[in-house]
Amino acid sequence: MLSRFLRYGIYGTIGVTGTAVALDYNNNETLNSIGAVRFGRAALTAATIAVDYKLSLLNFDPESDAYQEKISQVHLRCANRLKDVFCKNKGAFIKIGQHIGALDYLLPLEYVNTMKTLHDKAPESEISELFETVETDLGLKVGDLFESIDPKPIGTASLAQCHKAILKDGTVVAIKIQHPTVKKNSHTDIKTMTFLVNCLAAIFPDFKFVWLAEETAKNLPIELDFENEANNIEKVARALEKFKFVKVPKVYRQYCSGRVLTMEFCEGHRADDLESMKKNNIDVNKVSERLGIIFSEMIYSNGFVHCDPHPGNILISPIKNTKDKNKNFQIVLLDHGLYQILPKNFRYNYAKIWMSILNKDIKKLEELTKNFNVNEYFGLFACIVTGRAWDSILQGIDKIDFTSNESNSIKLEASKYLREISIVLNLIPREMLLILKTNDLLRGIESSLHTRNSSSSFIPLSKCCIRLINPYDRETLTNTGRDTIKNESNLKQFQFFKIYFRSIKINMISVRGNNSFVKNTHLANNLRRVRSSSNSIHNRSKNRFIAPINNNFPKAQRNFSNENQNFVKKMPAVLTTLTQNEIKLYYMLMNYRAQHGLPAIPVSKCLTYVSKVHCVDQQISSPLGRCNLHSWSNLGPWTSCCYTKDHKKAKYMWSKPRELTPYKGHGFEIATYTSHIMTPEVAFELWKNSPPHNDLILNRGAWKGKHFKAIGIGMSKNYSNCWFGLEPDYY
């Protein structure tokens, strides 16, 4: 088979190439547009690669170190050969090369790194040829349509290139014009790639990458239709309009066709440009977090996913005249030619798989991955989905830092397990292939920004999964959980916090001495990991990571019902126990009251629980803008509300202690936010200097004559809440 393939492939290539040169030896573009020449060039390269692998590895033991060293050399040689033929053939060949370059951890490192450069080095078309395309499609001369078009491209991609232009009314736009020969050559190119991939699969039984050609054949015609891309732009703009930090360019339909797309011109730098972010004081962790929000929303909520988010297609646009790091940039999404539509049942199964990974539930993971056809390869599939080693998955990917050693190990192992990886990629649903590409491209951006160790990416993922997965699905609970959590409200509450505390690091500061507090600087340096189990959290109080509520605080004394006592006992200890920073804030508030002749207020377990729950909710739902900090999302077992300054929704805030705990009275909240890490000093100063908050603390104004008998405090990263109650808390 090999000899026959080589003989016909090489001789055939020489023949068609010679004929093409004879026909038009002076016109390289004309030569390149001849299908037989492009086929012959690709066939010759494929044959050369096949021979190189067969002969170079002939006398090596696949289990030996020498084999691994040798195959790495062959991978690199062959990757460069492929890149060379992709660049010469252009169009669809560049596109498939870019796809290979996006498959970190799935293909040998030599191929991935070699093909990555194709994202930035796609061949340019002559501006005169592009003008001809515009005039043919839009029916008018370029000068009648545009005031000017910059002949230097903003960017060049495999299928098109983009130029800055000005409309007749002075509007600055970006015009994306398809390379002239791409569509004409695409049918032949797809046939060529499919034929050669099938030949290689016949020669090398372990070569199971036919799916790559099949996916290109399916997606290329879609990407070549710029009217479809315009539809995608408008659809995703509607889907993401609630996120003010996202910018999707406006489409100018009257200047669009199947090969021409005119859009709003957007400024910005690449998503992996770390230096530009430092220069503009942009928080890279916030960039990663918001990318996570955008793509989690696409995958889990909308089922409409941008499948080419390489760094050149995501711009970070600085916003001047603001020091607030939450508002000093926008994320601009470009290149909307390829979207994957995900059916709801696919999204549900995928969300359940992610939750089983975050929960380290290997038995559940094995069961769920049967829906994706991977069966005994479920562990490898989990590694592919997360981009993490199996040991890290077993220990908890939200708890084990992603190190350069782990990254290098995964990339090296990809060569050893190429056969198994290719089997998995052939087995999984086709929708999953583009999701894996999207995952890898986003992880690549995180690596460039040095944010892969940040746990913030798990927050939007968990939030969207909560919205999708049935919160009453008892299969996610252990037997102990079933016995303990009896009703639907508590079950939903249990799942909400189980996912949240597995997804982020809680702000707990180590104590050195009784009255010494470690300065709270950057989250990554000062926060200690906390396990999701309330028992493990509670046990840490013995080591002074947490200060439990005890007799040092004033406390109401009274007998209470066993039913309510049991309810309170079920609350996770981390939500009813003050951290050292929260204790410090409590004493600052009580000392301030004492200076004005007011008594100390007993600490309430129930109100502390409500305070901390609200901090959790604020941290993941970010109630900034029209809805203020007293708002509650729709993620938990409570009545959601958008709280506004007219106080029309006040009853939904006052009732929260009764909704969430056995507390009998109303609760009144003061809340604050900072774009930096919250400290007791910051919270206290903000409240003291705000007249309405100061009045509540000191029983002035509308609060004069009120006697607060319970208080609860919560702090989490950027937020702090304090709840006051008129009824004592006996729990």
CA 515, chain centre distance (Å): 40
Distance CA 386, CA 406 (A): 13
E strands, 221-301, in order: 246-247, 260-264, 269-270
Please, what sign has the CA dihedral across residues 95, 271, 80, 23? positive
C-alpha to C-alpha distance for 215 and 229, rounded to whole angstroms: 18
Q: Cα separation of 516 and 510, whole Å? A: 9
- Could you identify the residue written with the tokens 């962790």? 285
Q: Pairing mode, if any, of strands 246-247 and 329-333?
A: parallel
Residue type for position 187? H
Residue 3 neighbours by CB distance under 10 Å: 7
Both tokens of 601, joined, read 């207020």
Cα 487–Cα 488–Cα 492 angle in degrees, nearest 5? 125
Nearest-10 crossing angle of helices 458-468, 344-358 = 130
DSSP code of 596? T
Token pair belonging to 572:
């996770």
Measured CA to CA, the distance from residue 32 to residue 17 in angstroms comes to 10
Bridge partners for 167 per DSSP: 146
Instruction: Give the tokens for residue 571.
Output: 């609350």
Under 8 Å CB-to-CB from 678, ≥6 apart: which residues?
Answer: 507, 520, 672, 715, 716, 717, 718, 719, 720
- Which structure tokens are listed for 170? 């002075």
For residue 262, what are the β-bridge partners? Answer: 175
Question: In angstroms, how far is CA 345 from the centroid of its own chain?
Answer: 21
Length of the chain: 731
Surface-to-core class of residue 429, CB atoms within 10 Å of its CB (0-12 exposed, 13-18 middle, 19+ buried): middle
Give the H/E segment covering residue 312: none
Tokens of 557: 């004394």
CB atoms within 10 A of CB 348: 17
Catalytic residue among 189, 308, 335, 617: 308
Q: Is the dihedral of CA 182, 186, 192, 197 positive or negative?
A: positive
User: For the sheet containing 667-673, what is the strand order?
Assistant: 667-673, 719-725, 710-716
**Token pair recorded at residue 195:** 């034929």
Pairwise CA distance, residues 267 & 317, whole Å: 6
Distance CA 253, CA 551 (A): 70
Active site residue 24: no
The H or E element that residue 405 is part of is helix 404-416
DSSP 102: T
Q: Tokens representing 155?
A: 């960017």
Helix axes 344-358, 488-503, angle to 10 degrees: 70
Strand partners, 503: none
Q: What is the 8-class DSSP label of residue 375?
A: G
Structural contact between residues 408 and 71, judged by C-beta atoms closer than 8 angstroms = no
User: CA 500: distance to chain centroid?
Assistant: 16
Strands 172-178 and 314-318, sheet pairing: unpaired
Rounded Cα–Cα distance for residues 155 and 174 (Å): 10
Catalytic residues: 308
